[in-house]
Structure 1
Amino acid sequence: MRRRPSRLVGPVLALLLIGAGPGGSGETVSLDGDRPGERLDVTLTRVVDPAGTADADRLVAVELRLENTGTLPYRDSPAPAAHLLDTEGQRFTGLNTTTDAGPSLPDTVTLAPGDSASGFVTFRLPKDAGLAAVQFALDGGLGDDVGHWSLS
């Protein structure tokens, strides 16, 4: 489902709702950037929970595959562009943290049209937090198009 809310109030977010189980969805969402020709296909391939512990928190890692399907080069930082929502409505921003899950996406990803990259983005959550959804947007997470994968 794709919808574009009215531009009358607040920032515009187009949410793409995709069902996903706790292991990841394998569903691909196409996201448009702010410039004409910016387009990225994002696939949530896996969720690793827990991916390690940190003090009183737990680490959760999501594996993303990014493919530049646009006509312009894509250059962005995927970790701050990713968010994990818990079942209480709290939103956690992605981190470039090494975990047991696998290699992280680089701090900055640069993809020519047709190129792709895969890796993990990590989130630090309270140990008892339930996982509700993963979100991803271009332009450092500030893009109008937001991919949304439900985990519950």
Structure 2
Amino acid sequence: MKKSLLVLPVLLSFALTACTGTEVTSNPDNKPAASKGQEAPPKEEGARAKIGDTITLDSGEDGLKLEVTVVKVVPSAKPKDEFNVPEPGHRFAAVQIRLKNVGSTTYDDSPGNGAQLIDDEDQQYGEGLNEIALGASIGTSVKLAPGSSRKGYLVFSVPKKVKPTKFQFTLDSGFGPQAGEWLLK
């Protein structure tokens, strides 16, 4: 009985540590002004990231930090070929992202593992391994040295009638301490 009482605090400690959760941020980074020497005006308090905005996300790994930019959204993307088609009643929606490693360690992950597309009914869809005619996917295995960047599409199969409204991205295959969220309007 005494051993089980000693083990209980340790188990509770592990349970509380595992439940720390992920912080979701939709605050875009400030962008530098086009003119040399001038700073961009700060983003409004409570401003929500949208297409074209960058959010810098921290990883659970020391020294790993990425700037993530939603470059483009294609609500209805054509498949790359006749073998790569959505299931009946669905269509492909694609989000083009740019990842830039602004940390001090190498990023080595599958970006699609941490990507979610959210529709107008608050349902979410994970990235599929599909190819579209518009351009290259970002890939299933991305390695970025500090200072390097990569751009490509993440493809989602969604019901034809839904409207994608948000995109979320989390480092560490979806288990990172921060998730960025962009409005797709």
TM-score bracket, shorter-length normalisation = 0.7 to 0.9
Identity of aligned residues (%): 34
Q: 1:133 is aligned with what amino acid? A: K
Q: How many residues align?
A: 141
TM-superposed deviation, 1:142:
1.4
2-structure distance, mates of 1:62, 1:12: 22
Larger RCO of the pair (alpha carbons < 8 Å, separation 6+) = 1
Q: Are 1:61 and 1:101, in contact at CA under 8 Å, matched by a contact in 2?
A: no
Shift of 1:49: 1.7
Is 1:85 aligned to 2:118, yes or no? yes
Q: Residues 3-152 of structure 1: matches in 2 within 5 Å?
A: 11-17=21-27, 18-20=48-50, 25-52=51-78, 54=86, 55-152=88-185
Any gaps of 5 or more consecutive residues in structure 2?
1-16, 28-47, 79-84
Higher normalized strand content (fraction of residues): 1
The answer to whether the 8 Å contact 1:58/1:125 transfers is yes
Deviations along 1:8-50, whole A, 9 cap, x unmatched? x662323224342xxxx11011000002201000000000120
**Is the Cα contact below 8 Å between 2:52 and 2:70 reproduced in 1?**
yes
Is contact 1:102–1:119 with CA below 8 Å preserved after alignment? Answer: yes
Work out whether residues 32 and 38 of structure 1, in 8 Å CA contact, stay in contact via their aligned partners in 2.
yes
Q: Residue 140 of structure 1 aligns to a residue in which SS?
A: helix
Which structure has more helix as a fraction of its residues? 2
SS of the equivalent of 2:113 reads: helix
Residue 109 and residue 122 in structure 1: after superposition, are their counterparts in 2 closer, same or farther (change >3 A)?
Answer: same
Tell me, in whole angstroms, the C-alpha distance in 2 between the residues paired with 1:43 and 1:95: 20
RMSD: 1.6
